[in-house]
Amino acid sequence: MGQSGVKDKCKNCALYADADLFCAHLSGEELCDLSNQSRTLSMKRGDTLENEALVHWPVVAIDSGVLSMQHLLQDGRKTIAALFMRGDIIDLRNISNRNRGALIALGKVDICRLAPKVFERVMEHNSGAQKVIWENLRDQAFRAMDHSGDIAKKQALEKLASFVFECRNRQVGYGEGDWVDIPVRRIDLAEYLGMQPETVSRCFKDLEKRGILETPRLNALKILNVPMLRRIANGDKDMLASESRIKVLKIA
Amino acid sequence: MGQSGVKDKCKNCALYADADLFCAHLSGEELCDLSNQSRTLSMKRGDTLENEALVHWPVVAIDSGVLSMQHLLQDGRKTIAALFMRGDIIDLRNISNRNRGALIALGKVDICRLAPKVFERVMEHNSGAQKVIWENLRDQAFRAMDHSGDIAKKQALEKLASFVFECRNRQVGYGEGDWVDIPVRRIDLAEYLGMQPETVSRCFKDLEKRGILETPRLNALKILNVPMLRRIANGDKDMLASESRIKVLKIA
DNA sequence: GGTATTTATTGATCTCGATCAACACGCCCA
DNA sequence: TGGGCGTGTTGATCGAGATCAATAAATACC
C-alpha cells in the first residue's frame, strides 16, 4: 500500500501534499485506513458544522479556505474568536457544547472530518505525526493568546497592523514579500478584531494616507513601509498620532 | 521503583498528587527519571522566567499559584494574554522569542521545569500521560479563544461577569458553590480583561449595587444571583441597563 | 509593629471608536 | 444586460470607558 495506493480524494489535499502537514507523515497503511474512514466536505460561505455532526466527527482538518470559530451573544453581537486555515486540525473530542463557539465557513472551505478512532491510533503510535499535530495545536494556542493580547489594549490602527502581519505570517509562501493576502471580508475582519466595519475601513484609509500600504483590492494589499507598520503594530505611540505630535511641537 | 521511591519534591506537588494531572500518569521509572532531571522553582510576584532559562528549560509545569503571559507594547501598555494555573503545562520548545509574551508570576508560584528529553520520551511512549497533556493544551487553546471572544465585543460589565465564571470553573473544588476565589489582584484582572483598574472597581461596585454579588475581600467574592450574572456574561442587554430601560418604558 | 510603597477606590473630564444614516460599489443570478 | 441585495465606504453624532487627579486602603518591608 505505497504511494500509488493513495486515494484520489487525498492526492490533492494539502494535508497530504504538503510535507509539513499531518497526512504526509502517515504510513501507507495508516493513510489508507484514515482515508477510508474519513469524510471530505466542501463548505461555502455561511455553512456551519452542526453540533450533531461534530459529536460523531469531532476532528476536523482544514485543506483550504478559512473556517471561523464564532461566539454569539444573546443580543446578536457576534465575534470571531479564531481563524482556522490550511493544515489546522481542530480536535473537539469531549469538548462540552457550552462555551464552545460555532464553526462557520467564511468562504469556500474544504475540510476532512477525520475518523476519531484512527486519529487516536495514529496519535498513539506515530510519533512523527504526533509531533505535527502537537505543533499545530501549540500554534493554535499561542496564536489565540497573541490575539487576546492584541485586541485587549491595542487601538484600532494597531490591531489592524497586527492583523496584516498575522496574515503575512500565515500565508503559504510568505517569505518577506510585500503583498499580503487578506483571506476574509472586511466584515469578518472587523468581527475578528473586535471592531466595526466602519472603523476597519477608516483605518485602512488612514494607513494609505500615511503611505504605509496600498489596498487596490479587498482581498490583498501591498505593504509600502514594513518597519513603520511593525512599529504601529507594536504600539509605538509616536507613529500613531503624527498630526497631534506636530501640533504639540508647534506649541512648544 | 514504586510509590515509595517518589522523591520528596514530588510528593506534595499537585502534578503528582492529583490523579488527573501529568505526573500521576507516569510509571515509577518515568517519574524517577523526570524527577531527577527536572528542577523545581519557587517564584514570587513579579519574577520572570528569562529567555535564556527558557531555552534550556522550555517546558514548565505549574504546581500552584498563577503565572501570566504578558505582552508589553512599546509605549509601556501591558496586557496579560493568558493565565496559567495548577496543572497547566507550558511547552515553549521551538517557539521563537519574537511574538511570545513574558512569563511573569502574579504571586507566589511553584513551578517545575521539566527536562525536555524526558518529557519528549514520555509523550512518545506513555499514551495515558500523552492524553493528559493533550487535553491540557486543548484547554489552554480553547480558553484563549473564549477569552478572545470575551474581550473583543463585550462591555466592561459583561467581561467581568465572564471572568468570575472563568475563575469559578478553574478553581480546584469548584462544584456549584457561590464563593469564588479571585486569585489575582485588581490591576492584573484589568490587564487580563483589557480594561483599566478604575473600570474594574466601578463594575464590581455596580454588580454589588444590583445585588448580584458581594466582595467582602479583594481575593474572593460571593455570587448572590448566579442566573443573573450568567445572563450578563452572555451579553443579555436587558440585564445590563436596567435603569435606562425603565426610562424608555416611562416615555413609551 | 510601625512606616513606606504599592494598590484600590472615587470623582470629573475627555476621547476614541461605536452607532446611526446615506450612499456607492461589486457580485450574483435571472 | 440589468435589477437586487449584501458589502464597503464616508460623514455626523453620541456614549462607554479611558484618562487624570486625589484620597483611602492594603500590603510589603525593616
Confidence of residue A97 (pLDDT cuts 50, 70, 90): low
Out of A148, A168, A193, pick the residue that ends a domain: A148
Confidence of residue A172 (pLDDT cuts 50, 70, 90): confident
Residues A132 and A28 in one domain: yes
Per-residue model confidence (pLDDT) at position B1: 42
Binning chain A into helix, strand and coil, the percentages to the nearest 5 are 50, 20, 30
Question: Is B244 a residue whose pLDDT tops 70?
Answer: no
Mean pLDDT calculated for residue range A109-135:
94
Per-residue model confidence (pLDDT) at position A1: 43
**B185, closest nucleotide (Cα–C1'):** C7
- Do A174 and A168 touch, CB atoms closer than 8 A? yes
User: Cα separation of B179 and B172, whole Å?
Assistant: 12
Half-sphere exposure of B195 (CA within 13 A, CB side): 23
Q: Based on the structure, what is the number of domains in chain A?
A: 2
Average model confidence (pLDDT) for chain B? 88
**A208, closest nucleotide (Cα–C1'):** D9
Q: Does residue A163 or residue A237 have the better pLDDT?
A: A163
pLDDT in tens, A145-158: 999 999 999 999 99
Residues B192 and B78 in one domain: no
Confidence of residue A2 (pLDDT cuts 50, 70, 90): very low
Confidence of residue A6 (pLDDT cuts 50, 70, 90): confident
User: Cα separation of B214 and A81, whole Å?
Assistant: 31
Distance A95 CA to C5 C1' (A): 46
Phi (first) and psi of residue A83, to 5 degrees = -115, 130
Residues B163 and B113 in one domain: no
Residues A79 and A160 in one domain: no
Q: Does residue A55 or residue B163 have the better pLDDT?
A: B163
Confidence of residue A100 (pLDDT cuts 50, 70, 90): confident
Q: Is the CB of B215 under 7 A from strand C?
A: yes
Question: Is A128 a residue whose pLDDT tops 80?
Answer: yes
**Beta strands per DSSP E along chain B:** 39-43, 48-49, 59-64, 67-72, 78-84, 89-91, 102-105, 109-114, 179-181, 213-217, 220-223
Question: Is B6 a residue whose pLDDT tops 50?
Answer: yes
Mean pLDDT calculated for residue range A170-179:
75
Mean pLDDT calculated for residue range B57-85:
94
Least confident piece of the model among A233-247, B85-99, B104-118? A233-247
Residues A60 and A8 in one domain: yes
Per-residue model confidence (pLDDT) at position B176: 64
Return the amino acid letter for B161. A
Q: Structural domain of residue B128, as residue ranges?
A: 3-148
Question: Is B7 a residue whose pLDDT tops 80?
Answer: no
Residues A28 and A138 in one domain: yes
What are the distances in angstroms from CA A138 to CA A191, A232, B137? 23, 27, 7
Q: Taking the C1' atom of C19, which residue's CA lies nearest?
A: A196
Report CB contact under 8 Å: A73, B194. no
Nucleotides of D under 7 A from a protein CB: 7-12, 16-21, 26-28
Per-residue model confidence (pLDDT) at position A50: 85
Residues B170 and B91 in one domain: no
Per-residue model confidence (pLDDT) at position A21: 95
Question: Is B66 a residue whose pLDDT tops 70?
Answer: yes
**A46, closest nucleotide (Cα–C1'):** D6
Residues A103 and A199 in one domain: no
Q: How many residue pairs from chains A and B have C-beta atoms closer than 8 A?
A: 136
**Minimum Cα–Cα distance from B78: chain A residue:** A153
Per-residue model confidence (pLDDT) at position A239: 66
Helix (H) or strand (E) holding A86, with range, is: none
Report CB contact under 8 Å: B145, A99. no
**Beta strands per DSSP E along chain A:** 39-43, 48-49, 59-64, 67-72, 78-84, 89-91, 102-105, 109-114, 179-181, 213-217, 220-223
Residues A71 and A128 in one domain: yes
User: Cα separation of A176 and B8, whole Å?
Assistant: 51
Residues A25 and A127 in one domain: yes
Per-residue model confidence (pLDDT) at position B61: 97
Report CB contact under 8 Å: B123, A100. no
Out of B148, B164, B180, pick the residue that ends a domain: B148
Per-residue model confidence (pLDDT) at position B5: 64
pLDDT in tens, B136-179: 999 999 999 999 999 999 999 999 999 999 999 988 776 567 89
Q: Which residues of B167-190 are buried (b: 16+ CB within 10 A; e: fewer)?
A: bbebbeeeeeeeebebbbeeebbb
Q: Near strand D (CB < 7 A), which residues?
A: A 185-187, 197-198, 200-202, 204-205, 215, 218; B 45, 155-157, 194-196, 198-199, 218-219, 241
Per-residue model confidence (pLDDT) at position B76: 86
Per-residue model confidence (pLDDT) at position A251: 35
Confidence of residue A175 (pLDDT cuts 50, 70, 90): low
CATH value at residue B226:
1.10.10.10
Question: Is B96 a residue whose pLDDT tops 80?
Answer: no
Report CB contact under 8 Å: A152, B81. yes
Per-residue model confidence (pLDDT) at position B158: 96
- Chain B nearest C-alpha distance from A236 (Å): 5
Residues B119 and B171 in one domain: no
Out of B148, B171, B198, pick the residue that ends a domain: B148
Question: Is A22 a residue whose pLDDT tops 90?
Answer: yes
Per-residue model confidence (pLDDT) at position B44: 93
Residues A205 and A221 in one domain: yes
CATH value at residue A50:
2.60.120.10
